[in-house]
Amino acid sequence: MRLKLVPSETNWDFFKRWHLTFGASALAMVASVVLFFAVGLNFGIDFLGGTTIRTESTQAVDVGAYRQAIAPLDLGDVSITEVFDASFDADQHVAQIRIQQQEGHEAITEETISALESALKAIDPAITFPSVESVGPKVSGELIRTAIEAVVLAIAAVLFYIWLRFEWQFSIGAVAALIHDVTLTIGIFCLLQIRFDLTIIAALLTIVGYSINDTVIVFDRVRENLRRYKQKALTDVLNISINETMSRTVMTSGTTLLALVALYVLGGDVIRGFVFAMIWGIVVGTYSSIFVASPILLWLGVKRDWSKPSQGGGTQYANIDA
């Protein structure tokens, strides 16, 4: 007996209110852009430059005491936050101290770090310093540039691949879905002010790959069905194709989300931002394959005079039972 998360045959009309869903996606993208310029991202040390010091102690974290101990060092803007995690032991208390880039220095000096550690040890002898990360202003500027280049080049490569693999209408739909996913991911990070660092860039690139995989599965089935149902309207062909690949979509996205939720709960605060970005990206990536990429293909139209018979390439596993 096999578990079926989706019935063997579905006939859901995904385009009954496609103007509303597409409009909602457009508004969400506009809101994300507004949030980016009005609120901005909570950039990590990777992009701002500065130093992050992680502390650990058997005594409870007293943010006020930490701040008073550090104040005489005159380090400028210092952010101290206590880190909570379900995986920590009862007597494990962790804090994160972020220090702005010091004027005239590429990174905080060893003498300053030693003075800071001594100041904190004076109020908490049990405190330890598991990690110290410093990034200079020149490096942070290069990281911002290379991160933007990586995301743009990934989307451009996808555009080129889909253009060769399918038709230009398909490539426009696929790239619009990718831009939608990346924009909404940046928007949610602006809204929630989750720290945005290099691991989130890695998550964005992973989201691009995951989203395009789901979109290509749907588009490949659309191309098959365009040859199979030569007289059906494009709306009907798209509905049939999405319904036929729904089982595979639910199975793939569902099992991936199960693993990511487990990582989010049990993986610790170090990777939590990355995992959150992945969870959000899979949700919006699955949504965009159906409600962004496909409506754009419907709007642009596609030629129906296919000269070659369908080979079923890439869709032989589309009807896997979930």
CATH at 204: 1.20.1640.10
Give 25 or 13, the one with higher predicted confidence.
Answer: 25
Residues 105 and 62 in one domain: yes
Q: Are 101 and 49 in contact (CB under 8 A)?
A: yes
What pLDDT is stored for residue 51 in this prediction? 81
- Residues of the domain holding 225: 18-43+139-300
The reply to whether 112 falls in a domain is yes
Model confidence pLDDT, tens digit, residues 196-240: 888 888 888 888 888 888 888 888 888 888 888 877 888 888 888
Residues 121 and 163 in one domain: no
What pLDDT is stored for residue 27 in this prediction? 95
Residues 194 and 58 in one domain: no
Domain boundary among 86, 115, 135: 135
Model confidence pLDDT, tens digit, residues 248-270: 888 888 888 999 999 888 877 77
What pLDDT is stored for residue 24 in this prediction? 92
Residues 180 and 284 in one domain: yes
Domain boundary among 114, 135, 156: 135
Q: Are 301 and 268 in contact (CB under 8 A)?
A: no
What pLDDT is stored for residue 284 in this prediction? 92
Question: What tokens were used for 229?
Answer: 């149902």
Residues 108 and 217 in one domain: no
Residues 143 and 255 in one domain: yes
Model confidence pLDDT, tens digit, residues 42-82: 887 777 777 888 899 988 888 888 888 888 888 776 778 88
The reply to whether 4 falls in a domain is no
Q: Which three-class secondary structure state does DSSP give residue 92?
A: coil
Model confidence pLDDT, tens digit, residues 285-296: 899 988 998 888
Domain boundary among 109, 135, 161: 135
**Whether pLDDT at 301 is above 90:** no
Dihedral angle sign, alpha carbons of residues 275, 276, 277, 282 = positive
The reply to whether 126 falls in a domain is yes
What pLDDT is stored for residue 310 in this prediction? 47
Q: Are 278 and 206 in contact (CB under 8 A)?
A: yes
Domain with 111 in it: what CATH number? Answer: 3.30.70.120
User: Which among 234, 216, 219 has a CA at the least distance from the CA of 304?
Assistant: 234
Residues 125 and 192 in one domain: no
The reply to whether 174 falls in a domain is yes
The reply to whether 173 falls in a domain is yes
Sheet holding 78-83, edge to edge: 78-83, 93-100, 50-57, 128-135
Residues 37 and 85 in one domain: no
What is the CA angle 132-39-209, rounded to 5?
Answer: 70
Residues 168 and 294 in one domain: yes
**Whether pLDDT at 316 is above 50:** no
Residues 56 and 187 in one domain: no
Residues 149 and 262 in one domain: yes
- The number of distinct structural domains making up the chain is 2
